[in-house]
Structures are given as structure tokens and as C-alpha cells.
Amino acid sequence: MGRFFVLFLCVQSVFLGGCNSREKPTAETAKINLPRRTSRTLFEERLLGLVRESELLARDVSSKKAAPLEARMRLNELEKSWTEFAAEHPDNIEAQILYGKFLRSARFDEAAYKVFLKVDKKNPNFAVVKQQLSTYEAEQKDFKSSYLHIKEAVSLEPGSAVYLAQLGELLFKAGAYLVKSGEISKESRDVEMQDAFKRASELESESFDFLARYAQSFYDVSSPDWEAALSVWKRAETLAPFGFEKDEARLHVAKISIALGDLDGAKSALREIKAENYLKERASLEALLEKKKSEILNSQNLSE
């Protein structure tokens, strides 16, 4: 079904912020508050109708209620309606942003990018537009533009964990390019990346996903603070909602504890690991732990 079948798996969150998923939140979840029915204008009624049609198509496709041919036809009609609506309201920023989001959801990526560029030219103060531009530019490997736009998004909405996490991910994936091109130094890349992940985890303080990504970032820098990393992974273990995620955190606690010489702490963490997928890694760390113990014992014997 090609580009027409993005399936809008969370299109309700794209427009109304209502996705019931455990996936990390994205900037697509920006919410629009429509007035009560009694006070809605014709413009608002049409906008809400388009939103509802998008939601309905998403549900029907994800539940397989709509057959492929039917879904294709409905999406074509929806795209036509959105395009007409946006053309009738070229100066309405809200309409243009939602139109761009619809195009993005339907994988009309280049068309969506052009819409967001126009919006940004008219009003450069929308963080979500900066984020959308950055996302597309990163996909096109225009990392310099992507970096500038996501930084602007963070500047406009410093309280958004989503934008901060995206900045961190961009620096993780494209940091080498940005360093080579002279945009940033290796040291500043490391500091800015970790700071972005840390701030995101602080803003979403009860989110395992944000905290785990911050914890993982200690492996991604040249001079990690392993004491801090250990503390973060221990907190991640307490936040993990599932046993296998707790075991993943325990593996990191054990690995870092061994590196820091806290063999008892490593042993305690390894003892708790039960998930079958991690038993091989647990055994490997247990072997390393025994090796470290033997080295310490031999060193003590030699000093006597």
C-alpha cells in the first residue's frame, strides 16, 4: 500500500494528545484544545471533523476493520479534504500546523516539510514546527540544519522533555558529523548530549524510558562519570515497570560496580537477575567478578 499506509497508529495523539501507548512521547503529541460545540465556528467544526476522520481511519486500519482498498480510498479523500482546508486558510497557523502533521503522518514527508517551512517563515515562535523541521532534516542527513532547529525548539519550550531527548539523540547519532564540520567540539558534544538527556529525565522524573536513556548516555561519552552512572542505573531499576527492564538495569549496575571495585554491590545486583534473556550476560559478569576477586586475593598474598 506504499506511502499511503502509515496506518496512523497513534494519529489521535498527533491531533488531540490521546495515544494510549507505552511508547515514549513524541512532539507529535502536541495538544489542540477545541471550543465546546455551542461556541465553535464553522472553521473549528471543519477542523474537528478532519481530526475525527483521521482518528477513525487510524482505528479502523489498526484494528483491520478497513480493508486495504477501502483504507486507501479513505486516505486519499482525507488528504484531499485536508489540502482544501489548508488552502482555504493559508494564514491560520493552527490549520497549517495540523495540515503539516497530517501530511507527515501520511508519509508525504517532503510536502509536510514545505508546509512547516512556510509556517516557520510566517511565525518562528512555534517549537513544534522547529521540531518537525529538525526531524525531516535529520532524516535527509542535513544535520547542521537539524541541530539548529531542535536547539531552537528547546529554547522555545525548555520544559519539553521530548525536545530535549530529541536533541540528545541527534547529538548521539550525528555528533561526529557536527564535530567534523566544526559546529561543535567533541567535548561540548558530550556535555550537551548528556545535559539534554539528564534534563529530559528530570522533567519526566517518573519515566523509566527517559531515565534509562540518560543512564545509557554514560557509555556514549569520552570521559564518563561512573559514580554518577551507577547512581542513575540504580534509580532506573526502581522505576522499571517490568522485570526484564529491572534486570537490564541490574546488569548495568553490576558491570559498573565491578569497574569501580564494588564487588559486593555487583554480586548483589547479579543475584537478582532472573530474566532468561539476560542469563548469559549474568554468567559472563559472574565470571568477571570471580576473576576480579582472584586478582585481589593474589595481590594480597603477594603483599604479605
Same-domain pairing of 115 and 161: yes
Average pLDDT, the chain: 87
Q: Is the pLDDT of residue 301 over 50?
A: yes
- The per-residue pLDDT for range 90-119, each reduced to its tens digit, is 999 999 999 999 999 888 999 999 999 999
- The per-residue pLDDT for range 184-227, each reduced to its tens digit, is 999 999 999 999 999 999 999 999 999 999 999 999 999 999 99
**Which one-letter DSSP state was computed for residue 36?**
P
Find the CATH number of the domain harbouring 144. Answer: 1.25.40.10
Same-domain pairing of 126 and 212: yes
Cell of 112: 509536510
Residue 240 lies in a domain: no
Percentage, residues of the chain above pLDDT 70 = 86
Specify the DSSP element, H or E, that contains 119.
Answer: helix 109-122
Same-domain pairing of 218 and 251: no
Same-domain pairing of 135 and 171: yes
Same-domain pairing of 116 and 156: yes
Q: Is the pLDDT of residue 5 over 60?
A: no
* Closest C-alpha to 23, from 261, 208, 201: 208
Residue 271 lies in a domain: yes
What's the pLDDT band for 12 if we cut at 50, 70, 90?
very low
Same-domain pairing of 115 and 203: yes
The 3-state secondary structure of 60-116 reads: HHHCCCCCHHHHHHHHHHHHHHHHHHHHHCCCCHHHHHHHHHHHHHCCCHHHHHHHH
| Boundaries of domain holding 148 | 108-224
Same-domain pairing of 127 and 190: yes
Q: How many C-beta atoms lie closer than 10 Å to residue 201's C-beta?
A: 28
Same-domain pairing of 186 and 136: yes
Query: Rounded to 5 degrees, what angle do the CA atoms 34, 35, 37 make?
Result: 115
Same-domain pairing of 202 and 133: yes
* Closest C-alpha to 239, from 206, 275, 199, 197: 206
Same-domain pairing of 178 and 260: no
Same-domain pairing of 220 and 252: no
User: Which of the residue ranges 4-18, 61-75, 119-133 would you say has the lowest mean pLDDT?
Assistant: 4-18
Number of domains, the chain:
3
- The per-residue pLDDT for range 266-298, each reduced to its tens digit, is 999 999 999 999 999 999 999 999 999 888 877
Residue 143 lies in a domain: yes
Q: What is the reported pTM?
A: 0.82
Same-domain pairing of 259 and 180: no
- The per-residue pLDDT for range 216-260, each reduced to its tens digit, is 999 999 999 999 999 999 999 999 999 999 999 999 999 999 999
Residue 149 lies in a domain: yes
3 state SS of 56: helix
Q: State how far the Cα of 171 lies from the Cα of 218, in Å rounded to an integer.
A: 14
